[in-house]
A and B are shown apart, each in its own frame.
Chain A
Amino acid sequence: MNWSDALIQLQYDLGAPRELSWLVEGVTYFVGAFILANAALVLALLLIWITRKVISRIQDRIGPNRIGPYGLFQTVADALKLLSKEDITPASADKISYLLAPVLSVVGVLMALAVIPFGPGLIGADLNVAVLYLVALGSLGIMAALMAGWGSNNKYALLAGFRVVAQLLSYEIPMVLAMLAPVLLVGSMSMQRISEAQSLYLGPINLGVGWFIFLLPGAFLIYLIAALAEAEQTPFDLLEAESELIAGFHIEYSGMKFAMFFLAQFLNSFFLGAIAVVLFLGGWQGPFAGQIPLLGPIYFLAKTFLVYIVIQWIKGTFPRVRIDQMMQFAWKVLVPLALALITAQMIIMKLPLPIWINYALLLAANLVVVAAVLNILGSYFEREQVRSKRAFAPRSLIGTMQPVQSSSGD
C-alpha cells in the first residue's frame, strides 16, 4: 500500500468529491512534500549535533552540553543566531549568481528526498529513472558551488570554485559507475525496486539480508570514496580548506545565506549515505521487515545514521589530501577500476553457468578490486609516511631539545 493511495482514499472517505480528483491528488502530494521537506530541516539540526558530538568525542572533548538535554538544542540556538545576523552582499559581487547560489545548493539537496525509499510504500515518487535523477541533482550542487565561487568576486572563493569543478567532476565518474553496478543486477533504476531486490528468502520467510554489499564490495568501496569527495567531506574537503582558503566558496556569505550552504552540506552527506544504504546495504530490508511494516523505516534510518557516523569518524581521523593526489587517485585508480568492474560484471552475469557460480565469480572480481584499491592506498600512505618523517627529521642539533653529546677522546 502506497502512502499517497492511502491518503487519497482517506480524503474520499471523508467526503471529497470524486470529480475533483486532480485537487485531491494535488493536496496529497503537497502534504507529503511539505512534511518531507520540513522533516529534512529538523534532520539537519540533528545531523549537525551528531557531527559535533562525534568529532568532539574523537578529539577528547565533551562537545555541546549546555542547551537542552545533551546539548541537543545547541544547533537551534545557532540557527537563531544566524537569523539575527546582518545580511551582507559585497558591493563588487556578481549579484545574480551570488544570490542564486545558496538557493540552488539547497534545492539540489532537498529534491533528492523525492526518491529515497523509507519503507515499503513509503517513497515520495517511485520514479523509474531515480538513479539518473540523483546524478542530475548532484550536478546542481556543483553549479551552486561554482556560482558562489565566481559570483563572490573574491580570490579565495574563486580558487575554491576552481577546485570544486576539478574535484566534483572527477569523482562523479567513479560514483556513477559504482551506482551502475546494482542497477545492472536489478535491471531497474527505481529505488523501490532496488530495495525489494535485496531480499533473501529462506522458504517463505524474508530474512532481508540479501544486500548487494555481499556481492559488490568493490563497487561499494568505490562509491563510498567518491561519495566522500562529492559531499566535500574530509579527506577531500580541500575546497573549503580552512588553512588555505579560509572558508572556500562561501567566504563572502553571512547570516542565513551561509546557513543555507551549511544545511546543504550536512544534508548532502546524509543523503549520499542514504543512497549507499539503498543501493548496497539493503535499504529498508532487514530481518522480519516484510512481516512488520514499521520495522522498514527503523532499519533504513538506523543504517543511514550508522553510515553518517562512519563518515564523521573518517572526518575526525584523516588528514586532508593534496589536489594533485586527489585528481590522480580519481582518474588513475578509481575510474579504470570502476570501468573494469562494470565490464567484468557485464560479462560474468551473462555466462551460461548456474547462477550461484555467476555470483561467486562476481564476488571474486569485486574482491580483486577491493584488494587493488587497498594495496594502492596502503603503499601510498607508507611512502608518504617515510617522506614526511624524512622531511621533519632534525637535520642539526640547533633548535632541538637534546643535550649535546661530547665526543669521546676529549
Chain B
Amino acid sequence: MLSQWGFVLILSAIAVIIPVAAIVLGHFLGPRRPDPIKMDVYESGVETIGDTWVQFRAQYYLIGLIFLIFDVEVIFLFPIAVAYAQLSFFSIIAAVTFVLILLLGLFLEWRKGALEWT
C-alpha cells in the first residue's frame, strides 16, 4: 500500500514539473516588449474604474455554508458505504436517519429562501 502512494508522490512531482517547465519555456521563447497599456487589465479597451477586489453578494457565502454541511455529510457516508456488507440492518437505519435529518435541513433552507437566486 505504501509503495502505491509512492507512485502518487512521483506522479504529483511530474505533474508539477510539466506545467512549470511549459510556462518557463514559453516565458523565454516568447518576445518581451512590455508597455504600460499592455500590462494594464483588460476591460474592453476602457480604463478600469475603482477597486476590483470589492464586496460581493452574501448569497455566495450562504451557498458555501450549505456546501460545507453537505460535503461533511458525504464524507461520513463513504465509510458507511465501504463497510456496508458487514453492517446490520439497525445500523443502516441509523445511517438513513442521519441522511433524513440533513434532508430536513435542506427543506428548511428551501423554505427560508436560502436557495433562491434572485
Contact = CB atoms under 8 A, between A and B. Distances in A.
Interface string A30-72: 1011101100010000000000000000000000000000000
A165 interface: yes
Given A86-B30, A87-B32, A187-B85, A173 B11 contact: no
A155 B54 CA distance: 9
A342 interface: yes
B92 A346 contact: yes
A93 B42 CA distance: 12
Interface stretch (A198-206, A254-262, A286-294, A402-410): A254-262
A92 B95 contact: no
Contact of B14 (A34, A102, A153): A34
A247 to B, nearest CB: 9
B108 interface: no
A106 B15 contact: yes
Contacts of A111: 8, 11-12, 15
B19 A107 contact: yes
Given A162-B56, A184-B84, A343-B96, A33 B26 contact: no
A347 B92 contact: yes
Contacts of A124: 7-8, 11
A323 B117 contact: yes
Interface string A329-349: 001100110011011001101
A260 B19 contact: yes
Contact of A86 (B6, B32, B117): B32
Interface stretch (A126-134, A216-224, A298-306, A382-390): A126-134
Contacts of B3: 4, 25, 29
A281 interface: no
Given A32-B7, A90-B39, A332-B110, A150 B115 contact: no
Interface stretch (A175-183, A229-237, A269-277, A364-372): A175-183
A311 B36 CA distance: 42
A184 B7 contact: no
Contact of A180 (B10, B15, B78, B85): B78
Given A154-B43, A189-B82, A256-B23, A177 B74 contact: yes
A350 B84 CA distance: 9
A88 B64 contact: no
A172 interface: yes
A355 interface: no
Contact of A125 (B8, B40, B80): B8
A156 B48 CA distance: 11
A83 B11 CA distance: 24
A110 interface: yes
Contacts of A85: 26, 30
B27 A87 contact: yes
Contacts of B71: 172-173, 176
Contact of A153 (B25, B52, B64, B115): B52
Interface in A227-248: 246
Contact of B52 (A158, A166, A169, A177): A158
B112 to A, nearest CB: 13
A19 B117 CA distance: 64
Contacts of A350: 87, 89, 92
A82 interface: yes
Contacts of A225: none
A374 interface: no
Contacts of B44: 246
A29 B7 contact: yes
A85 B31 CA distance: 7
Contacts of B5: 125, 127
A336 B106 CA distance: 8
Given A26-B6, A106-B18, A128-B1, A83 B29 contact: yes
11 contacts: A34-B14, A93-B41, A103-B16, A107-B12, A125-B4, A170-B63, A180-B77, A184-B84, A327-B115, A328-B117, A350-B89
Interface of B: 1, 3-8, 10-12, 14-16, 18-20, 22-23, 25-27, 29-34, 36, 38-44, 48, 52-54, 56-57, 59-60, 63-64, 66-67, 70-71, 74-75, 77-78, 80-85, 87, 89, 92-93, 95-96, 99-100, 102-103, 106, 110, 115-118
Interface of A: 4, 25-26, 29-30, 32-34, 36-37, 41, 82-93, 102-103, 106-107, 110-111, 113-114, 124-128, 131-132, 150, 152-156, 158, 162, 165-166, 169-170, 172-173, 176-177, 180, 183-184, 187-189, 246, 251-252, 255-257, 259-260, 323-324, 327-328, 331-332, 335-336, 339-340, 342-343, 346-347, 349-350
